[in-house]
Amino acid sequence: MIKVKKRKILLLPGDGIGPEVIAEVKKILEWLNKNKSLDFEIEEGLVGGISYDKHKNPITDEVFYKALESEAVILGAVGGPKWDNLEFAKRPERALLKLRKELKLFANLRPAICFKQLVDASSLKPEIISGLDIMIVRELTGGIYFGEPRGIMPIENGERKGLNTHSYTTSEIHRVARVAFELAKKRKNKVTSCEKSNVMEAGVLWKEEVQALHDKEFKKIELKHMLADNCAMQLLRDPKQFDVIVTDNLFGDILSDEAAMLTGSLGLLPSASLGTKDKNGKMRSMYEPIHGSAPDIAGKNVANPIASILSLSMALRYSLDLDTEANLIDSAVQKVLDDGLRTKDIMSSEKKEVGTSVMGDAIISKLK
Ligand code: IPM
Ligand code: MG
C-alpha cells in the first residue's frame, strides 16, 4: 500500500474530562494509521490547569510552537474550580485564548445538529427540533474578549472599575461574514446575522458591513439581520428557521451554548476554529468539543467522547482533505447510536449505558 506523507496532529487533552475524551480520539487516529494506511504523526502537549500545575504557565512556548507546526490541533477542554482564583494571565482559559488569537483562528464553526436517535433527549418538543441543523459561525479573535483598554482599576471613593472594550473593524467583520456566506452556499443559502445595533455602535457597523459584503459578493444568499436577544428567543421558539448564524465573539459564545442544548446534549457537538489560508494554501485550525472540562465527572469514565470524535472528523474534513475518512467516522457514530449505546449524559430508558472507553471502542468497531 502507498503511504502518504506524515501529517502532524497535535492532541491537547487539557483538564477535567479532556484527557479521557481525547484518549478515544487518539485510538481512532491510531486505527486510521493502521487500517487506512494513513501516517499521522500524533503529538501531545499539556495545556490549561495541568500545564499551570507543572510549569506555572497554562501553555508553554514549546507547546505553542508545536501547535504552530501542526496541520491540525485537537483540544479536549480546559479549566476547573482548582484554578478559579488564579490571576487572569495564568488561568487555564488563557491557553485557549492565546491559541485562538495567535493562530489567528477568527472563524469558529459550531454546528447544532439534532441526531434523530436523540430527539427525545432535548428539553424541547420533538417537532420543534427533529431534523434541526444549524451552523453558528462565531467570530473568535476580536470583540470584547480581546478589546483594549481592559482591566480592573481603582477609581474615586475607594471604588473599583472593571473595564472591557467591544470593537470590530470592517475587515474583521468581512472575513468572518465571508466564511458564513460560503458555508451557506453549501447548505440552505440562508444567513442570519446577529448583533445589538439598537444599542451599540459596533453592532451598527457589524450590520452595515455584513450587508455591504452580501450586496457586493453574495447577492444570491438570503440575508436576515436579527438582534441577538431576539435570536436567543427565536432559537427556542422556532430553531428550524435558521441555517447559518453569524455573530460576534460574545454573542456567539452564548448563542452557541443555547443552540447546542436544543439538540439534547453538549456531549455530541464538535467545533472547528479556522484561520486564513497562507500563501501555500495552508490554513491553521483547531478543533474542540463544545463542552467544557466537566470536573464533576472527570476521571470516572462516564464522559461522552462523541463530541471529540466528531471534532476529529471535522479536522479530517476541513484541514486534511480526508472526506472519506471523515464520513466513515460520522457514520460509525450514527451506527453506534442506532445500536442503542449511550453514555450517561444521553441515556434514556431501554438503551444501554456505556462508559467513555467502551463508547470509543464501539465506534472503532463500526469503522471496520
Ligand atoms: C467556549 C468557552 C470559552 C469561551 C472559555 C472556556 C474561555 O466558553 O469556547 O465557548 O468563552 O470562548
Ligand atoms: Mg462558551
pLDDT digits (tens, 9 = 90+) for 29-87: 999 999 998 889 999 999 999 999 999 999 999 999 999 999 999 999 999 999 999 99
- Output the residue whose Cα is nearest ligand 1's atom 1: 253
- The answer to the question of residue 166 being in a domain is yes
Length of the chain: 368
Measured CA distances, 153 to 60, 175, 201 (Å): 29, 34, 25
253 CA: nearest ligand 1 atom = 10
Q: Evaluate whether residue 293 is within a structural domain.
A: yes
**Residue in 210, 146, 136 with CA at minimum distance from that of residue 173:** 210
Whole-number Å distance, alpha carbon 78 to ligand 1 midpoint, is 9
Residue 145 lies in a domain: yes
Based on the structure, what is the number of domains in the chain?
2
Q: Do residues 196 and 223 share a domain?
A: yes
Say which of 15, 26, 52, 145 is annotated catalytic.
Answer: 145
Mean pLDDT of all residues in 95-103: 95
For residue 213, give the H/E element and its range.
helix 201-217
Same domain (yes/no): 51, 193: no
Residues 191 and 212 in one domain: yes
Query: Over the stretch 8-28, which tens digit does the pLDDT of each residue have?
Result: 999 999 999 999 999 999 999
Confidence of residue 197 (pLDDT cuts 50, 70, 90): very high
Residue 119 placed within a domain? yes
40-44, 212-216, 282-286, 311-315: range with lowest mean pLDDT? 282-286
- Asked if residue 127 and residue 249 are part of one domain, the reply reads yes
Ligand nearest to the CA of 98: 1
- CA neighbor of 15 nearest in space, from 363, 295, 342: 295
Q: What is the CATH number of the domain that holds 36?
A: 3.40.718.10
Residue 36 vs residues 30, 153, 322, 331, 336: alpha-carbon distances, Å: 10, 57, 11, 16, 21
Q: Cβ–Cβ contacts within 10 Å for residue 351, how many?
A: 15
Give me ligand 1 centre to Cα 259, in Å.
15
Which among 263, 284, 300 is the end of a domain? 263
Inside any domain, residue 86: yes
Ligand sitting nearest the alpha carbon of 288: 1
Which of 224, 242, 263 terminates a domain? The answer is 263
Residue 339 has pLDDT above 70, yes or no: yes
How much distance in Å is there from the Cα of 249 to the middle of ligand 1?
Answer: 10
263 neighbors 113 (Cβ within 8 angstroms): yes
pLDDT surpasses 60 at 3: no
Which protein residue's CA is at the shortest distance from atom 10 of ligand 1?
A: 253
Domain end, chosen from 208, 233, 263, is at 263
Same domain, 354 and 319: yes
Q: Is 269 contained in some domain?
A: no
Are 134 and 76 contained in the same domain? Answer: no
- Do residues 5 and 30 share a domain? yes
The C-alpha cell that represents 308 in the structure block: 471529540
Over range 329-357, report the average pLDDT. Answer: 95
Please say whether the beta carbons of 206 and 236 come within 8 A: no
Q: Has residue 47 been placed in a domain?
A: yes
* pLDDT number for residue 1: 54
Shortest-distance atom of ligand 1 to CA 100: 12
| Distances in whole angstroms, Cα of residue 59 to Cα of each of 22, 25, 53 | 18, 21, 11
Residues 189-208: what's their mean pLDDT? Answer: 98
Cis peptide leading into residue 81 (ω within 30°): no
- pLDDT band (50, 70, 90) for residue 5: low
Q: Is 321 a catalytic residue?
A: no
Tell me, yes or no, whether 245 and 119 share the same domain.
yes
To the nearest whole number, what is the mean pLDDT of the chain?
A: 95
Specify if 268 maps to a domain: no
* 61 in the same domain as 17: yes
Q: Is 184 in the same domain as 64?
A: no
List b or e across 98-135, with b for residues whose CB sees 16 or more CB atoms inside 10 angstroms.
bbbeebbbbbbbbbbbbbebbbebbebeeebbbebebb
For the ranges 100-109, 281-290, 305-314, 354-363, which has the lowest average pLDDT? 281-290
Q: What's residue 4's pLDDT?
A: 53
User: CA distances (Å), 236 to each of 203, 215, 248, 258, 334, in order?
Assistant: 23, 30, 20, 8, 25
What single-letter amino acid sits at 112?
A
Cell of 223: 440575508
Average pLDDT over residues 101-116: 95
What are the DSSP calls for 63-78, one per residue?
A: HHHHHHH-SEEEEEE-
Is 15 part of the annotated catalytic residue set?
A: no
Q: Which ligand 1 atom minimizes the distance to the CA of 140?
A: 12
Instruction: Work out whether strand 7-14 and strand 40-44 pair parallel, antiparallel, or are unpaired.
Output: parallel
Residue 102 shares a structural domain with residue 1: yes
CB 59 within 8 A of CB 98: yes
Q: Cell 494506511, residue?
A: 37
The verdict on 247 and 321 lying in the same domain is no
Domain that holds residue 237: 112-263
Ligand 1 neighbours by CB, cut-off 6 Å? 79, 93, 96, 253
145 is an active site residue: yes
